[in-house]
Amino acid sequence: MNTAHDLDSWERAYRDFETPAEEIRKFERRLRALGADRLDRSSRILEICCGRGNALVAWRRLGFRRAIGLDLSYALLRLADAGTTRVVGDIRAMPVADASQDIVAVHGGLHHLPSLEDLEATLREVARVIRPDGRVVIVEPWSTPFLTAVHALSRQSPIRRLWKKMDAFERMYELEHTTYDAWLGQPAAILATVRRHLEPVVLQRRWGKLMVLARRAAPGGAVDAAR
């Protein structure tokens, strides 16, 4: 991923896939579906892999005023709204203090990690920076019949020529397929890794997405029942 000023090929495809307005609406819809809009509006939110910052805008639209973003790509962070706080950093070793965040969220960043060890390191970091009673939001691609059908469609050349969104989707896939396919191919191992660090309160797998609202797993795995 790019830490320089210019967008690389994947970043250009990602930019072409949907407009900021479309992406913000999508993030808002997903946060509502998880019930994240009912969390305390004064929460300190760390949006990791925030890219061009559209999830930060979605949080703001839901009334949360204390969201900051972290991403590896300086080029994408530069596209984010100048009014948002953004930090360049790697999610596997975050420049963030222990127990300093009420909510950590990620929309489509974990599947870019090269290996399960990187996911383990990242979730350890998430558990470190979140307060003991904090919440974690995870939205990532997931292998479902819907996603298989979308990929079958986006591989067709005539479809790519006529439908720019599908072309951008396929370009992104071509450029990230190693990590993306590895992610989609090991659902059980991914969920086991998530559960080692987090206790899901809501977990949905549909329409090609894994959507999780979780709390930090208590040592020994016991958690209180209150949401």
Ligand X SMILES: C[S@@+](CC[C@H](N)C(=O)[O-])C[C@H]1O[C@@H](n2cnc3c(N)ncnc32)[C@H](O)[C@@H]1O
77's CB contacts (< 8 A; 6+ apart) are 50, 51, 52, 53, 69, 71, 86, 88
Pairing relation of β-strands 101-107 and 85-88? unpaired
Specify the residue, 72 or 217, whose C-beta has the smaller distance to ligand X: 72
Q: Residue 203: enclosing H or E segment and its boundaries?
A: strand 198-206
Yes or no: say if 85 and 73 are a contact pair by the CB < 8 Å rule. no
Specify the residue, 124 or 223, whose C-beta has the smaller distance to ligand X: 124
The tokens describing 121, both together, are 């390191």
178's CB contacts (< 8 A; 6+ apart) are none
Specify the residue, 163 or 173, whose C-beta has the smaller distance to ligand X: 173
Tell me: does residue 30 bind ligand X (CB under 6 A).
no
Tell me: does residue 107 bind ligand X (CB under 6 A).
yes
Specify the residue, 91 or 194, whose C-beta has the smaller distance to ligand X: 91
Measured between alpha carbons, how far is 54 from 74 in angstroms, rounded to an integer?
A: 15
Tell me: does residue 54 bind ligand X (CB under 6 A).
yes
Give the chain's count of helices (H) and strands (E).
Answer: 9, 7
Please state the closest distance from residue 34 (CB atom) to ligand X, in A.
15
Tell me: does residue 124 bind ligand X (CB under 6 A).
no
Among 31-39, 44-52, 190-198, 210-218, the segment contacting ligand X (CB under 6 A): 44-52
Tell me: does residue 92 bind ligand X (CB under 6 A).
yes
Among 65-73, 124-132, 161-169, 213-221, the segment contacting ligand X (CB under 6 A): 65-73
Measured between alpha carbons, how far is 15 from 26 in angstroms, rounded to an integer?
A: 15
Specify the residue, 43 or 122, whose C-beta has the smaller distance to ligand X: 122
- Among 112, 124, 128, 131, indicate the residue that binds ligand X (CB under 6 A): 112
DSSP characters for 30-41?
HHHHTTGGGS-T
Tell me: does residue 51 bind ligand X (CB under 6 A).
yes
Residue 179 phi, psi (nearest 5): -75, -40
Specify the residue, 55 or 194, whose C-beta has the smaller distance to ligand X: 55
Tell me: does residue 15 bind ligand X (CB under 6 A).
no
Contact residues for ligand X (CB under 6 A)?
1, 14, 49-52, 54-55, 71-73, 76, 90-92, 107-109, 112
